[in-house]
Chains A and B, each alone.
Chain A
């Protein structure tokens, strides 16, 4: 399908950072890409693959070493091009929010429209209030950023970027420095914006979000765009094995319980975070109850034990593995087996090279 109208064209973009020890670190290697109006593009990939650098190069916060970026038929990498004009059309939302600490939320949003678009203060505040309603922050207009939670800060920052009425918004890992409990609120704001038809470029680690919200996915690896396609192509029929491995990666949480002096309460907290982060909060109570039952009833006298919770993000399969070293028969008795079996979908008991593993699929 030929794009209706190319907004941004990236040609042969390269960027090399110099390490403190003098060695070179090439983060972008001859990147080429076309972006059309109305597209919602998620950039995914392992850390260090150049996702953020690509985004920051696009609005020249990190000027590329070579290559060109064209915006609406103008070469913004040309030395004489006024960067301010380009940046007004290209909003940016940062990982660390970067709200102006000395201004209220309202001032954060109105300062650029008033000074750069020459809106009157009343006009700007009216617009800001509408935007704040849009992101659910209207009641916080007069607070300072230091009084807001991370999720609120990020929503205010999104409103600030929108206030300049940009043609495209770049999101640089908008949820990466948020507490897991606040990721949801920020993602739903972005989801909402996507529905409104804004052109967006999102660097993210949230696979399900990327799959659900995007019209197009760029998988970046080792400084190049490895694979470029619809969410269906990238997540369900990836061409490259690296893409496949990345999108099917499994999230893990491991506890090694070596004695009864173990800090069990810590399991409660970290498990809670894990479940919220990967959107399986509904499984939290069950998994915690299972861990408790196994550790304090069925395997009370067996130490050390390794407990591992795994979650495959795309397939949504979650399992709880109980591993005991140096034994070759299952540590569960029939009573335990029937008690656990009633609560989980499936129990797999299998010997491993180092001992025995009981896998509970929840």
Chain B
């Protein structure tokens, strides 16, 4: 056990120190890009642009963060994105630099759900009247902050639900405690306040954000999106509020060496009170796991009862349910429930996650209950009945303790499995432990430390689950007594 942990940690440490950077001539123009690999995020203008060029390689990442990380890890040579996405400090911190600026000019705008004319009109009026130029130059060029006008939030107004697909300063990023900062959140927050609403923002990949927009799970998507005809087929756009140029970024050769472990730990956990984010993530994970287990076990009881039923149709229905659940990846099931079944119902994402995992857990825990009960010999039941116990008393005093002993190890295993599978809830913008680790990684660009901490916490949680459930065994309680 101890050895396994040590080997595991050593491997993690080693993998964090790799540096596979290639030597190459820094490009000065688009023509120089020939023969290089370009990293960009999925679905951007650059994706389309460089797909057509046969002389360059493409690395398509899911998010801007991942695309940038690809260049830092040497998986790609050049990272192309809107120039404003990276501030000077951010570039220094990440040890990359701007190689050259592209010639094109794009207007960027916010995406809205198709047909939401009222919101579109409101937003366009706001963009025309508010001092957008001053706000943007505050974030991009560091000019003084524009004071926000007084506002009043109507108590019963629904919040303005925004999703952003970028988590990088200065465009939009999460600061300590999950507060959104940057150019886009600033604009949208002011817009929400002028219309008397609370401001809400989630982080998702662009594809997920657009799906959420179409499903009615959010109102506005921001990600320095350039309106194109193709995109206008599926979403509406506000008026453009800013102009951007393409920026071609390359690693800064001869940059800093790897930071020391304690410095990395500090950056991953202490700066911007990131340990607080991890704590929130932990609570979210524990909450989803716990409620899924509780609800799933109750449903599992019904599944078990149905499996033991004399009615054939009921048994077959449950078998079909088990087949259905076991045949779908938990993630796909989660996305179906979030984007299709509960879309537009206003159900909070964590509730959807709990329902998803509870439904999965019901099937497996039902199976475990069923086989544990079946493992108690018929003679034990007859003995209980023959002494004068009712069937219910026989179940409580005779079957249950024995079934518990046989089924509990499997049940604990299933619970640990559930805990681990909750790590996918980041897909529906729940800031659970894994997702929080990912957010920290996307800010510090240090993959090791957040993953290390997150791994450790999962490991401890799994251990706690096994220990805690082990205490339920009659043997354990007896041992404690004596």
Residues on A lying within 8 angstroms of B by beta carbon are: 59, 61, 83-85, 87-88, 90-92, 94, 96, 98-102, 111-112, 115-116, 157, 160-161, 164
Is B390 an interface residue, CB under 8 A from the partner? yes
Q: Cβ of A164: which chain B residues have Cβ within 8 Å of it?
A: 387-388
Residues on B lying within 8 angstroms of A by beta carbon are: 377, 379-380, 382-390, 393, 397-398, 401-402, 405, 474
10 nearest A-B pairs in the assembled complex, by CB-CB distance = A88-B388, A98-B383, A92-B386, A98-B379, A112-B387, A87-B388, A102-B401, A84-B388, A102-B402, A116-B388
27 inter-chain pairs at a CB distance below 8 angstroms, sorted by A residue, are A59-B386, A61-B385, A61-B386, A83-B385, A84-B390, A87-B386, A88-B387, A90-B386, A91-B386, A92-B386, A94-B379, A94-B383, A94-B386, A98-B383, A99-B383, A100-B383, A100-B398, A101-B380, A102-B405, A112-B387, A112-B389, A116-B389, A157-B383, A160-B387, A161-B387, A164-B387, A164-B388
Closest to B393 in A: A115
Please report the C-alpha to C-alpha distance between residue A164 and residue B385 in the assembled complex, in whole angstroms.
13
Smallest beta-carbon distance B399→chain A, Å: 10
Smallest beta-carbon distance B69→chain A, Å: 55
Contacts A94-B383, A160-B387 aside, 5 further interface pairs with beta carbons under 8 A come to A87-B387, A87-B388, A92-B386, A100-B398, A161-B386
Smallest beta-carbon distance B310→chain A, Å: 15
Smallest beta-carbon distance A111→chain B, Å: 6
Q: Cβ of A160: which chain B residues have Cβ within 8 Å of it?
A: 387
Pick the contact of B388: A85, A94, A101 (CB < 8 A).
A85
Closest to B382 in A: A61
Please report the C-alpha to C-alpha distance between residue A59 and residue B389 in the assembled complex, in whole angstroms.
13
Please report the C-alpha to C-alpha distance between residue A317 and residue B6 in the assembled complex, in whole angstroms.
76
Pick the contact of B382: A84, A98, A112 (CB < 8 A).
A98
Please report the C-alpha to C-alpha distance between residue A59 and residue B387 in the assembled complex, in whole angstroms.
10
Q: Cβ of B377: which chain A residues have Cβ within 8 Å of it?
A: 98
Please report the C-alpha to C-alpha distance between residue A56 and residue B405 in the assembled complex, in whole angstroms.
29
Candidate in A61, A85, A98, A161 with the most chain B CB atoms within 10 angstroms? A98
Whether the Cβ atoms of B388 and A112 lie closer than 8 Å is: yes
Q: Cβ of A90: which chain B residues have Cβ within 8 Å of it?
A: 386
Please report the C-alpha to C-alpha distance between residue A234 and residue B474 in the assembled complex, in whole angstroms.
51
Smallest beta-carbon distance B378→chain A, Å: 9
Pick the contact of A96: B379, B387, B390, B474 (CB < 8 A).
B379
Smallest beta-carbon distance A104→chain B, Å: 10
Whether the Cβ atoms of A102 and B474 lie closer than 8 Å is: yes
Q: Cβ of B388: which chain A residues have Cβ within 8 Å of it?
A: 84-85, 87-88, 112, 116, 164
Please report the C-alpha to C-alpha distance between residue A343 and residue B383 in the assembled complex, in whole angstroms.
50
Q: Cβ of A99: which chain B residues have Cβ within 8 Å of it?
A: 383
Smallest beta-carbon distance B46→chain A, Å: 67
Whether the Cβ atoms of A101 and B402 lie closer than 8 Å is: yes
Q: Cβ of B390: which chain A residues have Cβ within 8 Å of it?
A: 84
Q: Cβ of A161: which chain B residues have Cβ within 8 Å of it?
A: 386-387
Smallest beta-carbon distance B373→chain A, Å: 14
Known: A84-B388, A87-B385, A102-B405. A111 touches B397 (CB 8 A): yes
Q: Cβ of A102: which chain B residues have Cβ within 8 Å of it?
A: 401-402, 405, 474
Pick the contact of B397: A85, A91, A115 (CB < 8 A).
A115
Known: A111-B397, A115-B397. A98 touches B389 (CB 8 A): no
Smallest beta-carbon distance B239→chain A, Å: 73
Smallest beta-carbon distance B432→chain A, Å: 39
Q: Cβ of A112: which chain B residues have Cβ within 8 Å of it?
A: 387-389
Q: Cβ of B383: which chain A residues have Cβ within 8 Å of it?
A: 92, 94, 98-100, 157
Please report the C-alpha to C-alpha distance between residue A90 and residue B390 in the assembled complex, in whole angstroms.
14
Whether the Cβ atoms of A115 and B389 lie closer than 8 Å is: yes
Closest to A95 in B: B379
Closest to B384 in A: A100
Candidate in A59, A61, A84, A91 with the most chain B CB atoms within 10 angstroms? A84
Please report the C-alpha to C-alpha distance between residue A161 and residue B386 in the assembled complex, in whole angstroms.
9
Q: Cβ of B397: which chain A residues have Cβ within 8 Å of it?
A: 111, 115
Q: Cβ of A101: which chain B residues have Cβ within 8 Å of it?
A: 380, 402
Please report the C-alpha to C-alpha distance between residue A360 and residue B388 in the assembled complex, in whole angstroms.
54
Please report the C-alpha to C-alpha distance between residue A101 and residue B402 in the assembled complex, in whole angstroms.
8
Smallest beta-carbon distance B96→chain A, Å: 65
Please report the C-alpha to C-alpha distance between residue A92 and residue B377 in the assembled complex, in whole angstroms.
17
Please report the C-alpha to C-alpha distance between residue A111 and residue B389 in the assembled complex, in whole angstroms.
10
Known: A111-B397, A115-B393. A100 touches B380 (CB 8 A): yes
Q: Cβ of B382: which chain A residues have Cβ within 8 Å of it?
A: 61, 92, 94, 98
Smallest beta-carbon distance B402→chain A, Å: 5
Closest to B381 in A: A98
Please report the C-alpha to C-alpha distance between residue A96 and residue B402 in the assembled complex, in whole angstroms.
18
Q: Cβ of A88: which chain B residues have Cβ within 8 Å of it?
A: 387-388
Q: Cβ of B384: which chain A residues have Cβ within 8 Å of it?
A: 100
Closest to B388 in A: A88
Smallest beta-carbon distance A158→chain B, Å: 12
Known: A100-B398, A102-B405, A102-B474. A84 touches B379 (CB 8 A): no
Q: Cβ of B380: which chain A residues have Cβ within 8 Å of it?
A: 98, 100-101
Closest to B376 in A: A101
Smallest beta-carbon distance B411→chain A, Å: 17
Smallest beta-carbon distance A294→chain B, Å: 45
Smallest beta-carbon distance B217→chain A, Å: 50
Please report the C-alpha to C-alpha distance between residue A268 and residue B251 in the assembled complex, in whole angstroms.
89
Smallest beta-carbon distance A317→chain B, Å: 38
Closest to A91 in B: B386
Smallest beta-carbon distance A311→chain B, Å: 32
Smallest beta-carbon distance B472→chain A, Å: 13
Please report the C-alpha to C-alpha distance between residue A99 and residue B398 in the assembled complex, in whole angstroms.
10
Smallest beta-carbon distance A177→chain B, Å: 11
Candidate in B377, B382, B401 with the most chain A CB atoms within 10 angstroms? B382
Please report the C-alpha to C-alpha distance between residue A104 and residue B384 in the assembled complex, in whole angstroms.
15
Please report the C-alpha to C-alpha distance between residue A88 and residue B385 in the assembled complex, in whole angstroms.
9
Candidate in A88, A90, A102 with the most chain B CB atoms within 10 angstroms? A102
Smallest beta-carbon distance B1→chain A, Å: 29
Please report the C-alpha to C-alpha distance between residue A92 and residue B382 in the assembled complex, in whole angstroms.
10
Smallest beta-carbon distance B117→chain A, Å: 69
Closest to B401 in A: A102
Please report the C-alpha to C-alpha distance between residue A165 and residue B380 in the assembled complex, in whole angstroms.
20
Pick the contact of A116: B387, B398, B402, B405 (CB < 8 A).
B387
